[in-house]
Structure 1
Amino acid sequence: MSWQSITARDNPNLQRLRKLAQDGGAYRKLGGLWLEGDHLARAAVQRGVRPALALITDGAAADEALRALADAAPKVLVVSPALFKTVSGLESPAQIGFELALPPQPRIEAQADSVVLDRLQDAGNVGTVLRSAAALGFRQVLALKGTAALWSPKVLRAGMGAHFGLRLVEGLSVEDLDALKVPLLATSSHSDALLHEADLPNPCAWVMGHEGQGVAEALMRRCALRIGIPQPGGEESLNVASAASICLYESARRRLVGR
């Protein structure tokens, strides 16, 4: 383990971290991830992830807990708050961050309870869906092409550590879902049944569609059920992340009560 003070803005390590922090798709080219803040950093370490590099401000390095967290990395760079700010993608930068190696993309697990993301655009929505999936026992998330980059800094922040408990597969086509051998379920205003009345298969894969366009017709045709969420308040539709949480909860609830 080595600690090194950095003062130059053009240090090669800082240049790399800057790209990872500020370009949502840079992880695909550089093979690394930027985690900013002690919450995300701890979530990764608690899941057994070993960071490649830690970046910490000189002030935070004097904090015993943050210093111990930084020690999880084999290499620690210490910078001023002003220099840390040049790396951060946040308006109010944290005081510590990790670089991780990008995990290898796994194969689709055919029988896993899953969530399928069909071109969700908003990083906050994607991260929230991942968080709900992890909390409610859906351990596999499959993202079709056009979905916000799963490992981008914005999605990582919104996921609040959920990434490290999930099997994440992205860049998929509709045809790639042939590898999934569980029924697909989609929410739709043109439903076969309402959520509380539907006979939900277990395991299953919930399909969540584009915020404006919904689930693509080619994908909808593959779904075993179209399910409506009752909305007695009269709103036209729900936010996709809210809809996902409701559907995943109902599946999880039924597993717990055995029906």
Structure 2
Amino acid sequence: MSLPQAQIISSRDNPLLKELRRLAQDNTAYRKSGTAGRVWVEGDHLARAALLRGWRPALAVLAESAWLHWGGEFGDASHTGAERTVLLPDALFASISALESFSPAQGLGLVFDLPVEATVQSGLSTVVLDRVQDAGNVGSILRSAAAFGCAQVLALKGTAALWSPKVLRAGMGAHFGLRLVEGLAADDLAVLQVPLLVTSSHQGELLHRAHLPWPCAWVLGHEGQGVGEALMARAALKLRIAQPGGEESLNVAAAAAICLHASALSGPALS
């Protein structure tokens, strides 16, 4: 198959390869000099999710074996809008990939430039992450936020990096439909102008009995410590989930899904 649009790179020491390894394997590379503002999105599912939301990559990268599967789709700049397309030997792509079960035939990655503007917007349905540290939990919460009609997710300092490769994979494409802002302090939430709803495992009104406002901002806290005192003090509502089985608490991602679904039922999306 001819490769008229692809640049072939075969050296492990190529500067671009070094940059791609950092983006794919360093959770905070997108914040650091040399790779700042760029994220690596690996696999056809995430790539399609981004393209469907109107994101256009700066770079498309394919393994040689993957070109047979995806070259006509993701190797075509007229389809992806990529500024540049690169083809790598399978072994070189494998050295970049952070996937535990990498297959050369699935060797596809896109590099996106993050939006420059990252400020809190008032009046939007929102999820606030207060030091949620597990990447899988954060990605799962982003999926629930997108599924149940939230527009933005705000991460306070101490929360897992929202654009890290692990969170991106766990988010399954939700990132590209949400407004994401991170590195915030509690005081930065003052501009939201929507009620704060705080989750708790041991205090507050039962969720299924509560009248939930819309739009609102759900605050989800640290896996062990819960929501911090500063945000608890600002809450318009403190809510807990009925657990007739008697467990002490729920995983934060599971609690988020329950709360956000309940909120969506009270909002305009399902009315």
Give the TM-score normalised by the residue count of structure 2.
0.91
Q: How does 1:21-60 map to 2 (within 5 A)?
A: 21-29=24-32, 30=35, 31-60=37-66
Instruction: Find the aligned partners of 1:101 and 1:187 in 2 and give their Cα distance.
Output: 34
- Point out the more displaced range, 132-141 or 88-97: 88-97
Question: In the alignment, what sits opposite 1:143?
Answer: 155
Shift, 1:257, TM fit = 5.8
Work out whether residues 220 and 252 of structure 2, in 8 Å CA contact, stay in contact via their aligned partners in 1: yes
Q: How does 1:13-162 map to 2 (within 5 A)?
A: 13-29=16-32, 30=35, 31-63=37-69, 65-71=70-76, 72=80, 73-93=82-102, 94-162=106-174
Work out whether residues 205 and 240 of structure 2, in 8 Å CA contact, stay in contact via their aligned partners in 1: yes
Instruction: Find the aligned partners of 2:235 and 2:40 in 1 and give their Cα distance.
Output: 36
Question: In the alignment, what sits opposite 1:2?
Answer: 5
Instruction: Find the aligned partners of 1:175 and 1:243 in 2 and give their Cα distance.
Output: 25
Shift, 1:192, TM fit = 2.7
Work out whether residues 198 and 220 of structure 2, in 8 Å CA contact, stay in contact via their aligned partners in 1: yes
Shift, 1:147, TM fit = 0.4
Instruction: Find the aligned partners of 1:133 and 1:41 in 2 and give their Cα distance.
Output: 20
| Cα distance change, pair 190–237 in 1 and its aligned pair in 2 (3 A) | closer
Instruction: Find the aligned partners of 1:52 and 1:135 in 2 and give their Cα distance.
Output: 27
Unaligned runs of 5+ in 1: none
Secondary structure at the aligned position of 1:221 is classed as helix
Work out whether residues 192 and 228 of structure 1, in 8 Å CA contact, stay in contact via their aligned partners in 2: yes
CA deviation profile, 1:154-188 (whole Å, cap 9, x unmatched): 11111111011001110000000111100101111
Instruction: Find the aligned partners of 2:99 and 2:127 in 1 and give their Cα distance.
Output: 29
Unaligned runs of 5+ in 2: none
Instruction: Find the aligned partners of 2:115 and 2:21 in 1 and give their Cα distance.
Output: 20
Instruction: Find the aligned partners of 2:40 and 2:162 in 1 and give their Cα distance.
Output: 13
Instruction: Find the aligned partners of 2:74 and 2:87 in 1 and give their Cα distance.
Output: 13
Shift, 1:105, TM fit = 3.7
Q: CA RMSD in A?
A: 1.3
| Cα distance change, pair 226–68 in 1 and its aligned pair in 2 (3 A) | same
Shift, 1:204, TM fit = 0.6
Letter matched to residue 75 of structure 2:
A
Moved segments of 4+, more than 6 Å? none
Secondary structure at the aligned position of 1:196 is classed as helix
Instruction: Find the aligned partners of 1:98 and 1:192 in 2 and give their Cα distance.
Output: 45
CA deviation profile, 1:188-224 (whole Å, cap 9, x unmatched): 1343310011121111100000001100111111111
| Cα distance change, pair 62–195 in 1 and its aligned pair in 2 (3 A) | same
Question: In the alignment, what sits opposite 1:11?
Answer: 14
- Point out the more displaced range, 45-54 or 182-191: 182-191
Identity of aligned residues (%): 60
Shift, 1:66, TM fit = 4.4
Instruction: Find the aligned partners of 1:57 and 1:149 in 2 and give their Cα distance.
Output: 27
Instruction: Find the aligned partners of 2:157 and 2:217 in 1 and give their Cα distance.
Output: 17
Work out whether residues 105 and 168 of structure 1, in 8 Å CA contact, stay in contact via their aligned partners in 2: no
